[in-house]
Chain A
Amino acid sequence: MAVYVHNKGIPWEVQQNGTLAPVDHLRNERSESPTPGLVVGTEPGAGQESAMFVHAQSFEDLTADSEPTTEPEPEGETVLGESAEEEALCLGAEQETQEEQQPEVEVEEERPENRSKEEDVCSEVWRSHRKHVFVLSEAGKPIYTRYGTEEALSSTMGVMMALVSVVEADKNIIRSIHADGYKVVFLRKTPLVLVGVSQTCQSDRELTRELQYIYYQIVSLLTLTQLNHIFQHKQNYDLRRLLAGSEHLTDNLLRLLDRDPGLLLSAVTCLPLASSTRDLVSSSLQAAKAKSLVFSILLAGDRLVTLVRKKDQYLHHMDLHLLFNLVGSSSSFREGEGWTPICLPKFNTAGFFHAHISYLEPASDLCLILVSTDREDFFNLSDCKRRFLERLSRRTAYQSLKEALKCPSYSVTQVGIPELRHFLYKSKSSGLYTSPELPLPYQSLEEQERLMGLYQYLHSRLHQPTRPLRSIYRCGETENLLAWVTSGFELYLCFSPLGTKAMAVAAVNKLLKWIRREEDRLFILSPMTY
């Protein structure tokens, strides 16, 4: 079996250009009171050694390879030739523009998670879903639909492919259609075509990015090489045959995209843990190595405990999210030790890794993923796990780790800012983010997704390619939000609607100081390699 570790892939270039990786001489100058002027690599949560992920400009990294040179301007907004970096919009101006577009549909949005497939595609319920996703082959054959069955949608998908082809016949590319409150977004990734139909207020770019996640999810199961090979061989192949049994992975990924801030921020969150404990866990993992091992990842639910990697090999956050999704939406790893081929598309779309996936204890949330290049290496990795567990159990660290599992999150009240309800803070250089548990008003699924929708909106404004913002303050009836991006971090805050802008700005400093104080616990500051 060939070893697919490659060293010449795109992700490496990002490291080399020197703008993103922490600069050596700056690492020790971790200022006590971080300000937005911080240099990358010194913000709270930045790793002390080399960064753990390939973290190209996060968002841009994901969209770059498919972005057209001209970005269609959203309707109703005109560019007045501002400089690229524009400072905060003020309170009043932002206020109404947002409120009126909030679509008030979803009267009876059902949530039973697994039944969506049998739905009648002609029904009103089917039409009223906030976000549809379709995947089809270039021959127009249905591959995946989020709701309803693919068979029932074959003519609809045929029309979608026709739209793509008609525009392409004129040597053009269809990006999106905006009509009647809907956005239809197209992503052409030969040999697949992905289409998103959304009633949310997400931008085209965000929707395209979500489609990319779906695309990579499919690639992770088959590799791009195999995918290309199949369709070169037989243009009208029914790919559902190969994806059978994995639809729930895509379903679950779509749910994560609606709810998990990590996918929005292109970052991963950690289990809060005393740094001494985390270091001990990491070093135990580091000691349990094997020749073919590339990454060892310990998860607690959907949070990262630690990650140890081979020197010079980086794991892209997107690949990590795909692994999270795989573990989170499968039950088979609970019963025994899992052993599966998996392609990590941001690492290499051509080949499979082989992942050993198992829970440390049957009822525990701690899941260990060992990623290897050798498909015959199961027993070796099984032994690595055993050694890791043995080493860990000998130390008190295992007890403290289990203890920490009992409170995998923290309350926002710990920060001590009364009006602050929730926040997302991402350290750009480490690719990690932290966020407190959702407070009372946002605990229902509807409210959780609504808040995520607001964050998504702010995110798309900050990262608008033609007119990116450095900060934005948005007043609403139910909450006030502030988002702020610097070269070192991205911050989204949610305040009670009674707060003021001045207070929000003051809160930023207080929060940053708090995160700096707590960074040992909230982030992985010293990532390890074998």
Chain B
Amino acid sequence: MGKRTRMRESTGPRSPGPTTPTRDTRTIRAKMVLLGSSGVGKSSLALRFSKDEFKGTLPTVGCAYFTQVVCLSDVTFHFEIWDTAGQEKYHSVTPLYYRGAHAALVVYDISKRESFIRAQMWLRELEKHYIPASTVMVLVGNKGDLSELCQVTLQEGHSLAVDRGLLFMETSAKSGNQVSELMLAIDRPLEGSR
């Protein structure tokens, strides 16, 4: 983990490569989308990922887009992250965001049973929409810090993921626990598939 550095790209999605030149690194551009019902912490995960911060957020309006550069020892990832709103009224536009995605994170809140059920609906929807096999799909149980209020056990999440052939991770955007591991878990197959 120590080798990994974070940089924020401020100039927008089409900017040229990484600012720190490293020897013969590959650059991989990857579109990543966060899905899941309202209030499960998609924006917080995204914020933890991009700025390593946590703060209470208001519900996302529509969709938020940002870019993030991740440098591993031999690969540089340019992530284009689409953080979608979980609210039902925006569902008609979400196909725009997961279309062509290289990585899809389906997030639920371990302290809310309903969000787990919604997550399964998201998975079904993704399956319906020509998501290619190369897409890295991850089931994420967020709010791991609320383990005493847990309504969805680690085991349940795990078996659902195994069932569908997904990666699985329980994280906490609040404490930062397992978030970088989650990103690493995504990076590896992305690297392999391209």
Q: Hey, which bits of chain A sit against chain B, CB under 8 A?
A: 221-222, 241-246, 248, 326, 329-333, 335-342, 355, 357, 362, 375-376, 378-379, 382-383, 385-386
Contacts and interface: CB of A to CB of B under 8 A. Distances in A.
Contacts, number: 92
- Which 6 residue pairs of A and B lie closest in terms of their CB atoms, listed nearest first? A340-B62, A336-B66, A245-B59, A336-B64, A245-B87, A332-B60
A97 to B, nearest CB: 44
B83 A336 contact: yes
A95 to B, nearest CB: 46
B43 interface: yes
Most B CB contacts (10 A, CB to CB) among A329, A332, A342, A362 go to A332
A337 B65 contact: yes
Given A246-B59, A332-B61, A332-B64, 11 more contacts: A222-B89, A243-B89, A244-B87, A332-B59, A332-B60, A339-B63, A340-B62, A340-B90, A341-B90, A382-B13, A386-B12
B93 A341 contact: yes
B20 interface: no
B151 interface: no
Contacts of B88: 241-242, 244
Contacts of A355: 62
B14 interface: yes
Given A221-B89, A386-B11, A378 B65 contact: yes
B192 to A, nearest CB: 27
Given A244-B38, A382-B13, A338 B63 contact: yes
B13 A245 contact: no
A221 B15 CA distance: 33
Contact of B65 (A221, A243, A339, A375): A339
A383 B11 CA distance: 10
A376 B96 contact: yes
A504 B111 CA distance: 63
Contact of A245 (B38, B83, B96): B38
Given A245-B59, A245-B85, A246-B87, A383 B46 contact: no
Contacts of A337: 64-66
Nearest to B86: A245
Contact of A336 (B11, B14, B65, B86): B65
A336 B64 CA distance: 5
B63 A379 contact: no
14 contacts: A245-B39, A246-B59, A331-B57, A332-B83, A335-B83, A336-B83, A338-B64, A338-B65, A339-B64, A340-B63, A340-B85, A341-B62, A385-B12, A386-B14
A329 B58 contact: yes
A340 B64 CA distance: 8
